[in-house]
Amino acid sequence: MEAILKRAREVASEAAVAAGKLAKEKFDSAFAVEEKDEHGDLVTEVDGLAEAIILEQIRGAFPDHGIRSEETGWSGVEGDFLWLVDPLDGTNNYAIGLPVYAVAITFFYRKEALLGVIYDSVLDKLYVAERGGGATCNGQPLRIKEPKQGKKLTLGWIQGHAVQKDPRAMRLKHHLDEVSKRVLRVWAPTLVWCMMARGDLDGVVLYNSEGDDLYAGLLLLQEAGGKVIDFDGTDFVGMNEEPYIIGCHPAKREELLQIVKDGMQQD
């Protein structure tokens, strides 16, 4: 397994950087854009081009692994090993000329994330996390910063496409707006988790948003020393088709959990 994980890290890092550089080269140029669902979510030709780069490298190195990718769905061989790929997390930003997007790749063994790779090509930052092996940014150790005490919180908010204007989600979001300094929603969840792993946010609240971009960010935060828990306070593990998650520094766990519970009790 050690040899497989080492090779997986090499392949994922190289593929993420190659796909991210392609996206950066194509940014602010003419490219095709389409709506891909009834909610108005967008897909661009760059998504497909970046995805092709990643899939080619993964399939070349691991032809017997399964892959779930944002645009093409499932491929490869079903078994213990699985790759999740989001070649352009933040497509809606990308399509309107907002340079807030990233590449996310996660490698699983028996539904446990062992490796997460995120590449922010705008800032040329490569984040890598290995289960039990820590987190890095551009090869340097990444540890979440200690939170400042006594200040109002700056939070990240992530919700799934299908949530839309769900009343419970909107009440929770409104409660977060009321009790915090500000709540950021940047349409690129992977980068929100990177901000949390650095300690630039006080917490992240995710409402039913499972996807190919999710698990690399969660692993990055965990390996940087952060906490990832469900809304009931239990540690988040494995995979979940309908996740409700809080991410924060361990020192903020109880505070964030209470804030979310208060918001959820306003039904």
Binding residues for Mg(2+): 70, 86, 88-89, 213
Binding-site residues, please? 70, 86, 88-89, 213
Query: Integer distance in angstroms from the first to the last C-alpha of the chain?
Result: 47
What count of Cα atoms within 13 Å lies in the side-chain half-sphere of residue 228? 22
CA torsion through residues 58, 25, 214, 197, sign: positive
